[in-house]
Amino acid sequence: MHMIEQVYVPMLNQTGFVNVTSNSAYTKEGQYWELKEEVGKGTYWVYHKDNLFNIKIHDFFFHKDTFLEFDPPNCLSITYYSSIAGEELSPYRRLNAGCVKTFIGGYRPYRALIHKNIPIQSIGIEIMPAYYEDYLKEEYPEEYANPKLAFFEIDETMHFPEMIYLLNQVKNYQGEGLSAKLFYESKVAEAVSLVVEHQKKQKRPKPQSKLSIEDAQNIATVTAYLNDHYANELPLEQLAKIACMGLSKFKSLFKQVNGCSVTEYVQQRKMSRAEYLLSSTTLTITQISEAIGYSNPSRFAELFKKSTGLVPGEYRKITQK
């Protein structure tokens, strides 16, 4: 049984998708699923090559907040999100638009809460072990290096224009037959090449030290403090004092624990609160901007669009339907 049938078909059926024979949006080489009208609207498209790789395009939304949970296959995944709103739950992290995100599958269930009415628009590639461990090793035995570490180190980035360009090429492609098969194979190889090259250009992170119980508790205290005071001015020096640490140690351990910098964490909290206020209140956009700590509504709108793919007014109109 192919991995598509084993992993994704049950998940798609459970979520409310139905398999359809055709769709004019993308090439006929792939398989299509559409959401049932009572659940949402849109398309899930996937092209697979034996047990080597999958290419997936998402363009749909749910009518209500939807919890997703499934066991991803053993794979290396890279995806570009142009629009999304929600949170990953294991570990907890806001889903951001405008970013390239990697994921190593096969280790833990994927759990996420997707917000209602906001389009999930993404294009991604999943590469199977038969490709990155067997095929590449056989083709390039002298130069081979497992690309898993390169995928792991990317994690999530707003600064990978080459990959965004490549994935958009894949999304917009309309070829069929042999030309389509060759095109997709070449783009998967190019994507792996870009990931490996991207890793070479980055500075190697220092090995993470094991947190003491005291340090872990102090970082948890600061994180809770940020959750309550994210709209206020938060000098790093003050936060380091709350954590009973020097500034350098605090910044390092905070990122180690939370997977992002203090600035990124605070911005995620602000954007999450803005989503709630836009969808659930009648506060003006200026009032919401001030409530979450931005004195300039234009700056708030810019950051909100960067985070969700929508300006605040569009987001409100969609979510308050």
Q: Sketch out the chain's domains with CATH numbers.
A: 3-201 (2.60.120.10), 213-319 (1.10.10.60)
Q: Which residues contact 314 (CB under 8 A, 6 or more apart)?
A: none
**Cα(227)–Cα(158) distance, rounded to whole angstroms?**
24
Q: Cis before residue 91, ω within 30 degrees of 0?
A: yes
Please say whether the beta carbons of 33 and 9 come within 8 A.
no
At residue 181, does pLDDT exceed 90? yes
Residue 160 confidence (pLDDT): 93
pTM of the model: 0.84
Token output for 218: 């102090």
**CA 208 to each of CA 173, 252, 259: distance values in angstroms, whole numbers, following the listed order:** 42, 9, 12
Residue 162 confidence (pLDDT): 96
**CA 214 to each of CA 210, 217, 310: distance values in angstroms, whole numbers, following the listed order:** 12, 5, 41
Token output for 157: 């980035």
- pLDDT band, very low/low/confident/very high, at 205 (cuts 50, 70, 90): low
Q: Report the alpha-carbon angle 251-255-259, nearest 5.
A: 165
Size of the chain, expressed as the number of residues it contains:
321
CB atoms within 10 A of CB 143: 8
Residue 286 confidence (pLDDT): 96
pLDDT tens for each residue of 293-321: 999 999 999 999 999 999 999 999 999 87
Local structure of residue 111 (DSSP, 8 states): E
Residue 124 confidence (pLDDT): 97
At residue 177, does pLDDT exceed 60? yes
**Cα(243)–Cα(225) distance, rounded to whole angstroms?**
10
Token output for 120: 């999930």
Residue 204 confidence (pLDDT): 59
- pLDDT band, very low/low/confident/very high, at 89 (cuts 50, 70, 90): confident
- pLDDT band, very low/low/confident/very high, at 178 (cuts 50, 70, 90): very high
- Dump strand ranges (E) for 128-200: 156-157
